[in-house]
Chains A and B, each alone.
Chain A
Amino acid sequence: MTEVATPSITESSKQDRGAPVVRIRDLHKSFGDLEVLRGVDMEVEKGEVVVILGPSGSGKSTLLRCVNKLEEPTAGEVWFEDVMVNDPKTNINEVRERIGMVFQSFNLFPHLTAKGNVMLAQRKVLKRSKEEAERIAIEQLTRVGLDDKIEYFPSQLSGGQQQRVAIARALAMDPHVMLFDEVTSALDPELVRGVLEVMRALVEAGMTMLVVTHEIGFAREAADRVVFMDGGVIVEEGTPEDVFDRPRSERTQDFLGHIR
């Protein structure tokens, strides 16, 4: 993980957690006339957990999707380790192998079992042998608490179980960072806990994570840093205590008042 020389702004704030994994510089993204991101700067260090908060339409999903180029930035730079993600010369598939993404709507492959879902990209992208892919699939499905559902199809699983399969599917690729986009928003309340437990275990294991969520409880205990976005820019960021207990911006106070 060699680093391109860029001034690090977080040297003092973290006790040597490692090099930045994701760096975003002056990121702009427009859909036609609609400017969704208007200059976002962000850095996520190795092992860091960053939670992004903000009202609907503030550009949280768009920001996350720019990290693995599911959306193409209009201007600015997105770096993953030592490669510029939005450089047209970059092989985006190699970058995406190392960036795990979990979606609000699970997006499991319905024609494959839980195990098949976790195996597919291991086989077709990482070219792992069938035996190895299978072993890792079982290992990851066990890790998310689904060792008894390995041969089940997505349609036979609850939403919470499906989402945990999706997490296992991403983890099997040995990602260097995980992106979570409101992964519990589509779940019935009683199913949210299981997914959050898996995410907490990931935090414990030192995974680098960029998490969009409305789960304030999770943000409080798991986040190293909370970022509040509104209108396509970062309005405020800091430790969970800073942002939740002493919000400086009026917009943050407003938003927190609404979701509490």
Chain B
Amino acid sequence: MEVFLEWWESNPITHLFLSPTIMMQAFPVILRAFPVSLFFGLGSFILGIPLGLALAFMKMARTRFARLPATIYVDVIRGTPLFLQILLVFFGLPLFPFWKSMIQANPWMNQAAIFGISWSAYLRGFLILSLNCAAYLCEIFRAGIQSISRGQMEAARSLGMTTPKAMAFVIIPQTVRRILPTMMSEFILLFKDTALLAAVGITEMVLRAREVAAARFNPSAYVLAAVFYLMVTIPLGRVVANLEAKLAISEGRGGPPRPPVDTETETTIDPDHPAPLPERARA
């Protein structure tokens, strides 16, 4: 065992990238930063959902006054690097008078809060990540809603439902089922993109790994950080693949009736109904 460890640490490849001593040292540091990455990813994603839905309805509106701003917004956000958007918000926002007066009135906003990150950094981080995510979700929602056949809306309306009711009880439940895998893929992308926050000093996993790597002159901490990302992205990716496979199977109609799934409410979602695969918003 001693001999093996010695060999491991003296071999340049294993020592440089998989050094156990450095990883042991980095582990608690990165573990403490893991919730920061998850918090930014999950929080921005959840905030992005209503925003993205609003944008989607704007893009499908009849009037150009609603469509145009939404289209421009989505094009601009999706057409520029997120890294650039982060820099713009983090260094641009504090230059605005309203931001300055807000900080002056609430000095606590610049003080360290949970995980040693300031409120003003949280605010800007969530703002830009959710604004960015909303643009991608908008396209996912729009494609999903438009993939539901016109006949569904017509059937609902012919039963006397208003458009909002038809949306809420007929169109959206079917859409959600269809776009769930795509939405989860979008979350995986966003979760990985939280690493960009390292550039503006938010102490998430990559920044912490960099600190250890710089101090020890050894990149093994980066490898450990990668493992942390994979712990989230690989299981989620499997879930996405399973959901997609399920949707693909249930696309086939007819065949012998399968045993019914028990449901009590109208909103229950059947895991077996036919639905085409959603359009992928991002490859």
* Residues of the A chain whose Cβ atoms lie less than 8 Å from the Cβ of B156: 109, 121
Q: In the complex, what distance in Å separates the CA atom of A231 from the CA atom of B260?
A: 46
A118 to chain B, nearest CB (A): 10
Q: Is the CB of A70 within 8 A of B274?
A: no
Of A28-36, A78-86, A94-102, A238-246, the one contacting chain B is A94-102
Q: Is the CB of A97 within 8 A of B262?
A: no
Q: Is A111 an interface residue (CB 8 A)?
A: yes
B68 to chain A, nearest CB (A): 25
Q: Is B266 an interface residue (CB 8 A)?
A: yes
Q: Is the CB of B161 within 8 A of A93?
A: yes
Of A3-11, A154-162, A204-212, the one contacting chain B is A154-162
Q: In the complex, what distance in Å separates the CA atom of A157 from the CA atom of B257?
A: 7
Question: How many B residues, CB 8 Å from partner?
Answer: 35
Q: Is A113 an interface residue (CB 8 A)?
A: yes
Q: In the complex, what distance in Å separates the CA atom of A96 from the CA atom of B155?
A: 11
Q: Which of A227-243 contact B (CB under 8 A)?
A: none
Contacts A113-B263, A120-B169, A120-B266 given; does A155 touch B160 at CB 8 Å: no
Q: Is the CB of B174 within 8 A of A110?
A: yes
Q: Is A144 an interface residue (CB 8 A)?
A: no
* Residues of the A chain whose Cβ atoms lie less than 8 Å from the Cβ of B275: 110
Q: Is the CB of A107 within 8 A of B257?
A: no
Q: Is the CB of B165 within 8 A of A125?
A: yes
* Residues of the B chain whose Cβ atoms lie less than 8 Å from the Cβ of A218: none
Name which of A70, A151, A153, A154 has the most chain B CB atoms within 10 A of its CB. Answer: A153
* Residues of the B chain whose Cβ atoms lie less than 8 Å from the Cβ of A225: none
Q: Is B67 an interface residue (CB 8 A)?
A: no
Q: Which of A103-122 contact B (CB under 8 A)?
A: 103, 105, 107-113, 116, 119-121
Q: Is the CB of B154 within 8 A of A155?
A: no
* Residues of the A chain whose Cβ atoms lie less than 8 Å from the Cβ of B160: 93-94, 96-97, 121, 125-126, 173
Partner of A70, one of B154, B170, B257, B263: B154
Q: Is A123 an interface residue (CB 8 A)?
A: yes
B62 to chain A, nearest CB (A): 14
Q: Is A260 an interface residue (CB 8 A)?
A: no
Q: Is B100 an interface residue (CB 8 A)?
A: no
Which chain B residue has the least Cβ–Cβ distance from A113?
Answer: B263
Q: In the complex, what distance in Å separates the CA atom of A97 from the CA atom of B160?
A: 5
Known: A116-B268, A155-B273. 18 other contacts (CB 8 A): A70-B158, A94-B160, A99-B158, A100-B158, A101-B155, A108-B155, A109-B152, A110-B174, A111-B173, A111-B268, A112-B270, A116-B263, A121-B161, A125-B159, A151-B263, A153-B272, A156-B260, A158-B254
Binding site for B on A (CB under 8 A): 68, 70, 93-94, 96-97, 99-101, 103, 105, 107-113, 116, 119-121, 123-126, 151-158, 166, 169-170, 173
The 6 A-B pairs with the shortest beta carbon distances in the complex, nearest first, are: A97-B160, A121-B159, A107-B155, A107-B151, A151-B260, A110-B273
Binding site for A on B (CB under 8 A): 149, 151-152, 154-162, 165, 169-170, 173-174, 177, 250, 253-254, 257-258, 260-263, 266, 268-270, 272-275
- 7 residue pairs bridging A and B, Cβ less than 8 Å apart: A70-B157, A96-B160, A103-B155, A120-B169, A120-B170, A121-B160, A158-B254
